[in-house]
Copies of this chain bind each other. A is one copy, B any other.
Amino acid sequence: MNEELIKIGKQAKAASYKMAQLDTVSKNQILNQFADELVNHIAEVLTANQKDLANAVDMPAKFTDRLKLTDQRIKDMAEGLRQVAALADPIGNIDKGWTNEAGLLIEQKRVPLGVIAMIFEARPNVTVDASALTFKSGNVVILRGGKEAFNSNLALAEVLRGVLRDSNLDENMIQILHDTSHETADELMHLNDYVDVLIPRGGAGLIQAVLKNSTVPVIETGAGNCHIYVDKDAELQMAVDIVVNAKVQRPSVCNAAEKLLIHQDVAEKMLPTIAKALQDHGVELRGDEQSRKIVPSMKAATDVDWSTEYNDLIMAVKVVADEDAAIDHINHYSTGHSEVIISDNYQSGQKFLDRIDSACVYVNASTRFTDGFQFGFGAEIGISTQKLHARGPMGLNELTTTKYVIRGNGQVRK
């Protein structure tokens, strides 16, 4: 294995023990200094970003928009750092505590994970965002950004590392890989001796590649094939408002709705109105046979549609026989992110909440609320669609683990 990477791993592990001992006041001071120094170094960061943009002249506008930094975007990053400084610190909380039969006081204490590696793509803001969240939660970070944003990422990380040095802290609390090759990313996924957790942030391709290859435990931030089921007891206007909001407010994100299921008893009455509202917002609809009889302007949906996350102004529509059929369809095709029932019927709502196997299950609200900020966490690492460790929106708490701290006075096991 790459000796440089092992060196980085060892440095991270060593720094993690110092990091875990930093108190909340010190961490917050540093986070605010990160913010101050980012603003003081806008010119250097923009110069570095210009290099990346110059290398990206042939890339599509969508790509360069994510890559491009401006005075304002850097100030926004600084503001983000100050917000993280203002959040409650999860470290040191006692989740549970009890005395066992032998008289041992057992406490389950919240502690940092240790060394977190982040693999991400061409958004330089992740450098600052990930550093802020890992630092606040007492973790050290190894950043591996996409090569397209290398100069920007390096300039941003150097500002943060400069603050650490000036504060007589170990600059290796935040490290960035200078080698952005796929081979080194792959080796990072097998650096089990030094990396406690790996978090990929980016598209489905990146996340699947990491899940397949990594022997380091992965926190999966997930894909969202989110469903809205309009029940026979739905209010039409509420259905229109929620479906439109969930589909069109920000179609590129994982908590946007992708599928509309509607009870056959109300499909004729409600579907034309809902479909028109969506089409008026530029949504392309793809329907099953029954829904196309009601709204002939829809394209025909194929089998692939039911499992596709469009991340675009497209929605597939299906008429279902009843709520059970809706639940079975969702549990079969969903990625387990967020699902909604629109219904004024108590029993239908309760059944949906009980039986849908997804991270977030709603009655009468938009899927767009599946978000760390909307949940009130004040931060968001991502949305977990896996069942281990964390499920749903992840805040600072999800970047921590626990250890049992046990106090005795000489107890031995009988």
Which A residues are closer than 8 A to B by beta carbons?
Answer: 17, 20-21, 98, 100-102, 104, 106, 108, 111, 113-114, 196-197, 211-212, 215, 217, 219, 235, 238, 241-242, 244-246, 249, 331, 349, 353-355, 357-366, 368-370, 374-376, 386-389, 391-393, 401-413
Query: A21, A100, A215, A357 — which one has the most chain B CB atoms within 10 A of its CB?
Result: A357
Q: Is the CB of B219 within 8 A of A388?
A: yes
Query: In the complex, how many angstroms separate the beta carbon of A101 from the nearest chain B beta carbon?
Result: 7
Q: Is the CB of A114 within 8 A of B357?
A: yes
Cβ-defined partner of A197 (8 Å) among B17, B215, B363, B388: B388
Q: Is the CB of A114 within 8 A of B410?
A: no
With contacts A376-B100, A411-B366 known, is A360 near B403, CB below 8 A? yes
The A contact surface, by secondary structure, is mixed
Query: In the complex, how many angstroms separate the beta carbon of A218 from the nearest chain B beta carbon?
Result: 8
With contacts A375-B106, A376-B100 known, is A353 near B405, CB below 8 A? yes
Residue of B whose beta carbon sits closest to that of A219? B388
Q: Is the CB of A387 within 8 A of B245?
A: no
Cβ-defined partner of A365 (8 Å) among B21, B241, B410: B410
Cβ-defined partner of A386 (8 Å) among B102, B106, B217: B217
Cβ-defined partner of A412 (8 Å) among B215, B358, B368: B368
Q: Is the CB of B360 within 8 A of A113?
A: no
Kindly list chain B residues whose C-beta atoms are within 8 Å of the C-beta of A374: 100-102, 413
Copies of this chain, whole number = 2
Kindly list chain B residues whose C-beta atoms are within 8 Å of the C-beta of A412: 241-242, 244-246, 249, 365-366, 368
Kindly list chain B residues whose C-beta atoms are within 8 Å of the C-beta of A404: 359-361, 370, 375, 391-393
Residue of B whose beta carbon sits closest to that of A217? B388
Cβ-defined partner of A17 (8 Å) among B20, B355, B403: B355
Kindly list chain B residues whose C-beta atoms are within 8 Å of the C-beta of A411: 364-366, 369
Query: In the complex, how many angstroms separate the beta carbon of A270 from the nearest chain B beta carbon?
Result: 15
Query: In the complex, how many angstroms separate the beta carbon of A408 from the nearest chain B beta carbon?
Result: 3
Identify 12 residue pairs between A and B in the complex whose beta-carbon atoms are under 8 Å apart, listed by A's number.
A104-B362, A104-B369, A197-B387, A212-B215, A245-B412, A353-B407, A362-B408, A363-B406, A364-B411, A365-B407, A366-B412, A393-B404
Query: In the complex, how many angstroms separate the beta carbon of A176 from the nearest chain B beta carbon?
Result: 23
